[in-house]
Amino acid sequence: MTLHDRIVLRNAFNNETFIFAPATDPEVARFDVILGAGGSGGGNALVHIHPGASETFTVKSGRLAVVMRGIEHILEVGQSITIPAGTPHYFKNAGADPTEASVEFHPPQQHLRFFKNFTMLAEKRTEWFSTKGDPHLLLIALVLHAYRGHLYLAGIPIFVQKMLFGALAPIARYRGYRLEIEPIAKETA
């Protein structure tokens, strides 16, 4: 859905809404996320890492819990926290009311394409997710292999994930899984 040159996408599984505005700075990937009551980010509050980029959250309204290396940080309106590249984390709404935060990635890599892709899949291909909103393993393999270097699951060595997702991605395509937005070919790190 487009609203005043913005793209608004909703992941009902995680009770999160992403708002993508036109990019204004090539050095950062920036978008807003709104988490409803009980809403979480990072795939049902799945602990993950971004090995090639830091991630900064700034709260615009509500209260945001950011769990980094197992330690919960509660952020109020106007407060920010930066997750260094490679740091295990997830985030969730820390209150009963909706929480809105801006999210920034430095360097940008292809995080805007990655998050747009995943949210579009959650909207359009609900059958590729469990009733709790967990993506099927073949979908995870396809997306994380296509956008390798952007996001990995915490606790599993990255080289294992690269090998596993690389082996499963062609099977996912054979079984009919497809990306909504392909990564830009020149960046495959």
pLDDT at 10 (0 to 100): 87
Q: What is the pTM of this model?
A: 0.89
Q: What digits encode the pLDDT tens for the residues 37-67?
A: 887 765 556 889 999 999 999 999 999 999 9
Higher pLDDT, 86 or 46: 86
The answer to whether residue 144 scores a pLDDT higher than 60 is yes
Q: How far apart are CA 89 and CA 50, in angstroms?
A: 9
Please report, rounded to a whole number, the percentage of residues in the chain having pLDDT higher than 70: 93
Burial (CB count <10 Å: 0-12, 13-18, 19+), residue 47:
middle
Euclidean distance between CA atoms 94 and 103, whole angstroms:
16
Whether the Cβ atoms of residue 6 and residue 32 lie closer than 8 Å to each other: no
Virtual torsion, Cα 105, 111, 117, 120, nearest 10 deg: 10
Contacts of residue 120, defined as CB under 8 A and 6 or more positions apart, other chains included, come to 9, 180, 181
Closest CA to 76 of 88, 66, 85, 84: 66
pLDDT of residue 38: 80
User: At a CB cut-off of 8 Å and minimum separation 6, what does 59 contact?
Assistant: 75, 76, 77, 78, 79, 80, 99, 100, 101
